[in-house]
């Protein structure tokens, strides 16, 4: 399901980066389990400010990271420049096997709801080398749209939990609350149009047969392996 124009991120790069860093523990833990120890080539489709790209760079010799937002890509180049990583301002739908080759890993986090999902999944499958892997994470929700008050309540609940369970320093917890209640961020959150969990699962399994799908907060995380080459 296509959502808002991803270029609405253009003026949110620094805030998006900080929120992604502060809220990314579950995603990082999932990636640590599912990423291979080493690999040759990976692609990050919708890399944003490069938070997850940096994790891929720790395990792959070459990483192509693309995003439609120029300010996001500039931020990533400035803050997360790594040997072997190439950041490019491109539409993820323009990455093809003919122009960019095939990859051992195709990765995308919180991006696919901005494009037509079925076509994107077909393109993603075409980018994977035999024996390669696809890791996808995206937002899901039964409600359309999700009301602004829900995001506000969640932000306050998270602060209460952070303070009660000492999950993060007080200053960091308050910073996260402020970022989540930011008007521009709430505008972006409430403009998203996403699939319900069951719908997302069905679309993905229709293309990536046999994929393992895991609930991840208000998201789904998918792991799929391409058939290895025949001897």
What is the dotted CATH code of the domain comprising 6-142+193-225?
A: 3.40.50.150
The answer to whether the CB of 204 falls within 8 A of the CB of 213 is yes
* 198-222 residue pLDDT tens: 999 999 999 999 999 999 989 999 9
* 75-112 residue pLDDT tens: 999 999 999 999 999 999 999 999 999 999 999 999 99
* 104-137 residue pLDDT tens: 999 999 999 999 999 999 999 999 999 999 999 9
In Å, how far from its chain's centre is CA 113?
Answer: 10
* 142-196 residue pLDDT tens: 998 899 999 999 999 999 999 999 999 999 999 999 999 999 999 989 998 999 9
Render 172-220 in DSSP notation, one character per residue. Answer: HHHHHHHHHT-HHHHHHHHH-----HHHHHHHHHHHSTT-EEEE-SSEE
Q: Is the pLDDT of residue 44 over 60?
A: yes
Domain boundaries, the chain: 6-142+193-225, 147-191
Phi, psi of 68 (to 5 degrees): -75, -25
Q: Is the pLDDT of residue 141 over 50?
A: yes
Q: Give the pLDDT of residue 10.
A: 61
Q: Is the pLDDT of residue 4 over 50?
A: no
Helix H segments across the chain?
13-22, 25-34, 51-57, 70-79, 97-100, 117-127, 148-165, 170-180, 183-191, 197-207
List the one residue out of 135, 145, 120 whose CA is nearest residue 195: 145
Q: Give the pLDDT of residue 51.
A: 95
Q: Give the pLDDT of residue 3.
A: 44
Helix (H, G, I), strand (E, B) or coil at 82: coil
Rounded-to-integer distance, Cα 17 and Cα 48, Å: 8
* 11-23 residue pLDDT tens: 789 999 999 999 9
DSSP state, residue 3: -
Confidence of residue 9 (pLDDT cuts 50, 70, 90): low
The answer to whether the CB of 138 falls within 8 A of the CB of 112 is yes
Count Cβ atoms below 10 Å from residue 3 Cβ, excluding itself. Answer: 18
Q: Give the pLDDT of residue 177.
A: 97
């Amino acid at each position: 399901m296509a959502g808002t124009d991803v270029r609405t991120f253009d003026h949110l790069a620094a805030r998006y980066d900080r929120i992604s860093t502060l809220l990314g523990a579950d995603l990082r833990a999932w990636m640590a389990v599912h990423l291979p120890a080493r690999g040759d080539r990976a692609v990050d489709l919708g890399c944003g400010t490069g938070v997850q790209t940096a994790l891929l760079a720790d395990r792959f010799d070459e990483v192509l990271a693309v995003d439609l937002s120029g300010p996001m890509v500039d931020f990533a180049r400035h803050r997360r420049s790594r040997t072997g990583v190439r950041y490019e301002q491109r539409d993820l739908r323009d990455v093809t096997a003919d122009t960019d080759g095939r990859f051992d890993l195709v990765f995308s986090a919180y991006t696919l709801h901005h494009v037509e999902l079925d076509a994107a999944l077909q393109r993603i499958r075409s980018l994977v080398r035999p024996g390669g892997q696809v890791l996808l994470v995206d937002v899901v929700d039964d409600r359309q749209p999700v009301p602004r008050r829900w995001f506000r309540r969640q932000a306050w609940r998270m602060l209460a939990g952070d303070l009660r369970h000492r999950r993060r320093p007080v200053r960091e917890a308050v910073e996260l609350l402020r970022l989540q209640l930011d008007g521009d961020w709430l505008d972006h959150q409430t403009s998203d149009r996403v699939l319900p969990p069951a719908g997302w699962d069905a679309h993905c399994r229709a293309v990536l047969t046999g994929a393992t799908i895991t609930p991840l907060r208000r998201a789904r995380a998918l792991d799929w392996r391409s058939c290895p080459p025949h001897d």
